[in-house]
Amino acid sequence: MTITQTLKPSSANYWKGTAFSAVFLVPLIAVQFAINRERSTLWLILIIVVPLCLAGIALYFARARVFITDTHIGKQGIFGTRWTPKSDFDRALLVRGYTAPAEQPRTELFMFASDGRKLLRLFGRFWAEDDMGILVGATGATPGLLEGPAGPADVMRLEPTALNWVEAHPWLSAFVITFGILAVVVVAVVLVFALS
């Protein structure tokens, strides 16, 4: 297989989205530090977590690629490349103005097989819309367009397999995750008091 074109993620898109999220996160972190300034654990967690997150982002940008050959599309992530024959791509859905809770609207690309399976997704926070168009053209998939603002429910109405359960139900999944964390904390507190 000879690679005819290589697409790379857009760091400009990523940092634009990150700046938007920072508007919400920086004040929350500042309040936590003000409340917990005498607890060294918070500083230790920050010193460990921030470099790990930055290293993960750097690794993604160093490895992520979409390869186009005469017969296949390859999507390379951190852990390897998944090759899909071009003939498997039936249709594409470009969503302009996709809105998820607490995120800046962005363009997303979903690509599907004729049986409805999602074959590939390019997240707008990483990939440029021009590259998404190049990919759709290279596969020969029937292009579809959803102009936003469009939320998860709008995307799921058009393509039921486009999103995973957590993304398709953002508020319900947030509730379930929060309830799960609270349950673990309550059990931990009860165990600590029971064993002391």
Q: What is the CATH number of the domain that holds 17?
A: 2.30.29.30
- Looking at the fold, whether 155 and 188 belong to one and the same domain comes out as no
pTM of the model: 0.76
- Looking at the fold, whether 158 and 176 belong to one and the same domain comes out as no
- Looking at the fold, whether 150 and 183 belong to one and the same domain comes out as no
- Looking at the fold, whether 132 and 112 belong to one and the same domain comes out as yes
Instruction: Give the chain's domain count.
Output: 2
- Looking at the fold, whether 137 and 190 belong to one and the same domain comes out as no
- Looking at the fold, whether 181 and 115 belong to one and the same domain comes out as no
Q: What is the pLDDT of residue 20?
A: 62
Residues of the chain predicted below pLDDT 50: none
If DSSP states are collapsed to H, E and C, what string results for the chain? Answer: CCEEEEECCCHHHHHHHHHHHHHHHHHHHHHHHHHCCCCHHHHHHHHHHHHHHHHHHHHHHHHCEEEEECCEEEEEECCEEEEEEHHHCCEEEEEEEECCCCCCCEEEEEEECCCCCEEEEECCCCCCHHHHHHHHHHHCCEEEEEEEEECHHHHHHHCCCCCCHHHHCHHHHHHHHHHHHHHHHHHHHHHHHHHC
- Euclidean distance between CA atoms 135 and 9, whole angstroms: 13
- Looking at the fold, whether 117 and 134 belong to one and the same domain comes out as yes
The boundaries of the domain holding residue 105 are: 3-163
- Looking at the fold, whether 7 and 28 belong to one and the same domain comes out as yes
- Looking at the fold, whether 91 and 13 belong to one and the same domain comes out as yes
Q: What is the pLDDT of residue 120?
A: 95
- Looking at the fold, whether 110 and 186 belong to one and the same domain comes out as no
- Looking at the fold, whether 131 and 192 belong to one and the same domain comes out as no
- Looking at the fold, whether 40 and 120 belong to one and the same domain comes out as yes
